[in-house]
Amino acid sequence: MGNPTGFMTHTRELEPDRDPKERIKDWDEFHEHLPENKLKEQGSRCMDCGVPFCQTGQVIGGMTAGCPINNLIPEWNDLIYKGLWKEALERLHKTNNFPEFTGRVCPAPCEGSCVLGINEPAVTIKTIECTIVDKGFEKGWIVAEPPKTRTGKKVAVIGSGPAGLSCAAQLNKAGHTVTVFERDDRIGGLLMYGIPNPHLDKDIIDRRVNILSEEGIEFVTGVEVGKDLESKELIDKNDAVVICTGATIPRDLPIEGREHNGIHFAMEFLKANTKSLLDSNLEDGNYITAKDKDVIVLGGGDTGTDCVATSVRHGCKSLLQFEILPKPPLERAEDNPWPQWPRVYTLSYGQEEAMSVFGDDPREYQVMTKKFVGDEEGNVKELHTIQIEWKKDKDGRMAFDEVPGTEKVWPADLVLLALGFLGPEQPLLSQLAVETDNRSNAKAEYGKYVTNVDKVFAAGDARRGQSLVVWAINEGREAARECDKFLMGYSNLP
């Protein structure tokens, strides 16, 4: 620890964001970097505590606490305090294949478990991580490093999201010949089409994919395994197959009026927008527009926030976001102690942007949608809701009651369902005869990733269900290690 009193002499600072009123005029990233002297100060706030909970990566109270990929956070914090940026980058890449992704889109459970966060604002870990890797690209330190020898073993990875990419990167590093199959026209999975450009610029994904290609990984786009390519043929032609297809079945809201036009799953909305943006700068019109519409987003998570940000950029007439849960407190509640993920009120980038246009946070809490109402042409025009009240039932579980007299009707031309995901799509798993668990995920033990089908592995959201990008990278890396053991009898992969 280079500065033992850094946490006492310096306060927490985050990277500056572009002004919301300005950034909603374009599709560029909204974050900027702190100057180097400020980053050094922030790095010095890390206490190098005896037990760095920030890098533990565990689930406490049903939520992630600490970093699932066990980033060596105190080490690279100290290195940037000392100005050793290249050494910091080397430590960062020891555990994380893609810090330029996690440094932008990860919710930073590491910060929620920072020991300093017990009684002071946590270290700005995510900001430091992103700056280290961006400086690495800027300085030309990050280049292709193909393996010196090849094993002669061939592995197919199905899916090119964070689990598939990290798995492929590690297997290629071990010397295997890796082919990644992606059904979309671009590599990246939900990183590419599920997260808007202001949150994660797609050039950043392409930059890393190009390096992986130079290292010897083959990427095949526009091919859906099980449909365009028989899964049996894939197994026959490879020594191992790793399923990293994600959990892409969206949760629906099957209530009265769901059949009306103008009600879409969030991913329909986000994917079409990003594809049109990349294909034609939105000039082809092949997307669902929110322009001049009364928009209601159902769901309060990150995907809902991305829908809010996209709708604002389209120029929507009004915008609301309904959340069924209560509004979080400003500070940790007694039943949410450190090092759990802090369930506290935060203002994400999308809500900031909505406030810059409409004046208020668009979120309404404890709202349950009862039905959709359409016009004579079958287009949605209204959304009917009621307020709910949460309480514990006789078994101690949280349940809710509707509050009489709180019924309300809201105008809505466009409704976006951001209610989470149920699990992986089943046709591929069925065709491969892969057993599933009671949540429809590919059945494979965590840490082993072996399915019931010989030489077939599963990792990421396809195995664990909807989760964080860091868990996807964690599972992709670990599945690569287990696959390497299967192929070679041992593994030197971490």
Q: How far apart are CA 413 and CA 276, in angstroms?
A: 21
Q: How far apart are CA 197 and CA 202, in angstroms?
A: 6
Nearest CA-CA partner of 56 in 69, 46, 71, 66: 66
Res 393: pLDDT: 85
Give the whole-number percent of the chain exceeding pLDDT 70: 100
Q: 91 exposed, middle or buried (CB, 10 Å; 0-12, 13-18, 19+)?
A: buried
Nearest CA-CA partner of 391 in 363, 419, 366: 366
Listed in sequence order, the residues at least 6 apart from 24 whose beta carbon sits closer than 8 Å to its beta carbon are 309, 312, 313, 353, 356, 357
Q: Would you say residue 140 has pLDDT above 90?
A: yes
User: SS3 of 171, please?
Assistant: helix
DSSP state of 377: T
Q: How far apart are CA 140 and CA 158, in angstroms?
A: 31
- The model's pLDDT over 377-386, given as tens digits with 9 standing for 90+, comes to 999 999 999 9
- The model's pLDDT over 337-375, given as tens digits with 9 standing for 90+, comes to 999 999 999 999 999 999 999 999 999 999 999 999 999
Nearest CA-CA partner of 373 in 360, 357, 384: 384
Q: Would you say residue 396 has pLDDT above 90?
A: no
Letter for the amino acid at 460?
G
Q: How far apart are CA 80 and CA 35, in angstroms?
A: 12
Which tokens sit at 402? Answer: 């509707």
DSSP state of 222: S
Which tokens sit at 184? Answer: 């979309």
Average pLDDT over residues 264-271: 98
- Report all structural domains of the chain as residue ranges with CATH numbers, in order of start: 6-138 (1.10.1060.10), 154-249+422-488 (3.50.50.60), 252-419 (3.50.50.60)
Packing angle, helices 162-173 and 469-488, rounded to 10: 30
Q: Would you say residue 50 has pLDDT above 90?
A: no
Q: Which helix (H) or strand (E) holds 318?
A: strand 318-323
Average pLDDT over residues 19-41: 95
Q: Would you say residue 433 has pLDDT above 80?
A: yes
Q: How far apart are CA 412 and CA 372, in angstroms?
A: 9
DSSP state of 330: S
- The model's pLDDT over 444-457, given as tens digits with 9 standing for 90+, comes to 999 999 999 999 99
Average pLDDT over residues 193-214: 98
Q: Provide the b/e sequence for 422-448 (b: ≥16 CB within 10 Å).
A: bbbbeebbeebebebeeebbbbbeeee
pLDDT, mean over the chain:
96
β-partners of residue 348 are none
pLDDT class of 1 with cuts at 50, 70, 90: low
Res 200: pLDDT: 97
Q: 181 exposed, middle or buried (CB, 10 Å; 0-12, 13-18, 19+)?
A: buried
Q: Which helix (H) or strand (E) holds 91?
A: helix 85-95
- The model's pLDDT over 4-25, given as tens digits with 9 standing for 90+, comes to 889 999 999 999 999 999 999 9
Q: Do 58 and 66 contact (CB within 8 A), yes or no?
A: yes
456-458 sheet: strands from edge to edge: 218-221, 177-182, 154-158, 240-243, 456-458
Average pLDDT over residues 286-315: 97
Q: Do 441 and 429 contact (CB within 8 A), yes or no?
A: no
Q: How far apart are CA 402 and CA 389, in angstroms?
A: 6
Res 441: pLDDT: 97
Q: Would you say residue 202 has pLDDT above 90?
A: yes
